[in-house]
Amino acid sequence: MGATALKVAGLYLVIGWVWISTDSWLWHSLAAQFPLVNPALLQYTVHAAFVTASAVLIYVLVRNSNSKQNNFRMLFYEHPLPMWIYQWDTLQFLAVNDAAVKKYGYTREEFMRMTILEIRHPSTINHVLEDVRKTNKEFVYRGVWQHQKKDKSIFPVEIYSHTTHFRGLEARLVMAVDIDSEIRSTVMAKDIGTRYELLAQVTQDCIYYWDMVADHTTRNHGPSTLFGYDEADIRDKRSWWDDRVHPDDVLPMLQKFEATLRNNLVHWDAEYRFRCANGEYKHVHDRGHIIYNEKRQAVRMIGAVQDVTEKQQYVQQLRQQNEVLQDIAHINSHEIRRPVSSILGIMSMFDLDKNEPALNNRLLGLLRQSTVELDGLLHQIQHKLKKLNK
């Protein structure tokens, strides 16, 4: 709305200045062309034309602005899925649509006094803050979380968000998909063959539902599409998965999981290497939400395993490049200084009058030795730069 008002004021200002600059000239020109017309009537006609043209231009501008606002209202406020916009720095809600008001039970005025942390399960607050800190503003974010309504009831959602600007503030636009019904339907349908594919249709990750009491795990297509296993080779026991975790990673992963259960935490995540069907390992990020019964005993776990191999390879490449650059910096600041200092010292000792040829010959030998040493160091740097560019 502010931008529209500014445009209207600017347009009216421009038209006004044009009118002030041309009014006298235009009136005299018309009076000269129509000498028989009453000057007062002619001036009235010119003024009326100016007012009419100004009104038409302003009307068109406001109508277009209203059209854009109506489109935004239809796409955001009337969207059937809960959506909101929050300020990036403060996490304060800036706008919420009707579906969010209905889903979470807060009024729009209450939302405007809240932050996004107040619709999260208390046990996940630290994880939310850490996730926000790590989120890359340039990319679309997707994740599965536990949200909390005004009546304190908990339900799982899959959220999608991306960076935007709202009322001059850097913000984040979020859409939340309630996956509680999909999960319940999946659990109920596992005996008739639909398994977990209901949720699998909306993600490329390896989604799993683990009945911890019966030790029965239902997975989507992930083990096949991400890791290359045949359906006939996949087992529904948790041990089937744990046996394929890298030997160096399995103990830390299990210890972190046991600590999560001891503290009755809802959110769990770990990064480890998982063995593919061809024997190679992929780096994965495993995130899950644990469901407890009334006795605070863990009974079910819903999670997603994401392939982060390319990310790990990129981090490793940066680490190796940093090591090479540190080696080059060390050579430049320490080892090159020695032969350079020697060369400068030798040059200062040369007998330019050639009265001591023996001394000059010895100095030339030392100069050659220092030059060879310097050349070797330069070759070392060149070799490291070649490694850096590979």
Separation between Cα atoms, residue 209 and residue 299, nearest integer Å: 11
The whole-number pLDDT of residue 15 equals 63
The predicted-structure confidence for 53-99, as pLDDT tens digits, reads as follows 666 666 666 666 555 555 556 678 888 889 999 999 999 999 999 99
3-class SS of residue 269: strand
Q: What is the pLDDT of residue 261?
A: 95
Per-residue pLDDT, 58: 66
H/E run at residue 259: helix 247-262
pLDDT of residue 354: 65
Tokens 């309504």 belong to residue: 149
Q: How far apart are CA 351 and CA 321, in angstroms?
A: 46
Residues 147, 158 contacting (CB under 8 angstroms) = no
Residue 105: the pLDDT is 96
Q: Residue 244, exposed/middle/buried by CB under 10 A (0-12, 13-18, 19+)?
A: middle
Q: Does residue 178 sit in helix, strand or coil? A: strand
> What are the two backbone dihedrals, phi and then psi, of residue 283, each rounded to the nearest 5 degrees?
-80, 130
Q: What is the pLDDT of residues 130-184, one digit of tens each?
A: 988 888 888 888 888 889 999 999 999 989 999 998 888 999 999 998 888 777 7
Q: If residue 361 lies in a helix (H) or strand (E), which one and from where to where?
A: helix 357-389
CA torsion angle for 39, 45, 48, 49 (degrees, to 10)?
Answer: -130
Q: Which residues of 280-318 are buried (b: 16+ CB within 10 A; e: fewer)?
A: ebbbbbbbbbbbeeeeeebebbbbbbbbeeeebeeeeee
Q: What is the pLDDT of residue 310?
A: 81
CB 212 within 8 A of CB 301: yes
Residues with Cβ within 8 Å of residue 200, at least 6 apart in sequence: 207, 220, 221, 222
Across 257-375, the runs of DSSP E, i.e. the strands, are: 267-275, 281-292, 298-307
Distance between CA 349 and CA 151 in Å, rounded? 89
Q: What is the pLDDT of residues 252-272, one digit of tens each?
A: 999 999 999 999 999 999 999
Residue 123 has pLDDT above 60, yes or no: yes
21 vs 276: which has the higher pLDDT:
276
Q: 198-214 in b/e burial notation, b at 16+ Cβ within 10 A? A: bbbeebebbbbbbbbee
Closest CA to 225 of 282, 160, 303: 282
How many angstroms separate the CA atoms of 51 and 274, rounded?
Answer: 74
Distance of alpha carbon 150 from alpha carbon 107, whole angstroms: 10
**Token code pair at residue 325:** 């650059």
| pTM beyond cutoff 0.75 | no
Interaxial angle between packed helices 357-389 and 337-349, expressed in degrees from 0 to 180 and rounded to the nearest 10: 160
| Burial class of residue 93, CB neighbours in 10 A (0-12, 13-18, 19+) | buried
Average pLDDT score over the chain: 79
The pLDDT tens digits for 88-122 are: 999 999 999 999 999 999 999 999 999 999 999 88
Rounded to an integer, what distance in angstroms lies between the CA atom of residue 217 and that of residue 238?
6
The SS3 call for residue 244 is: coil
User: What does the pLDDT look like over 303-344, one tens digit per residue?
Assistant: 999 998 887 666 666 666 667 667 666 666 567 667 667 777
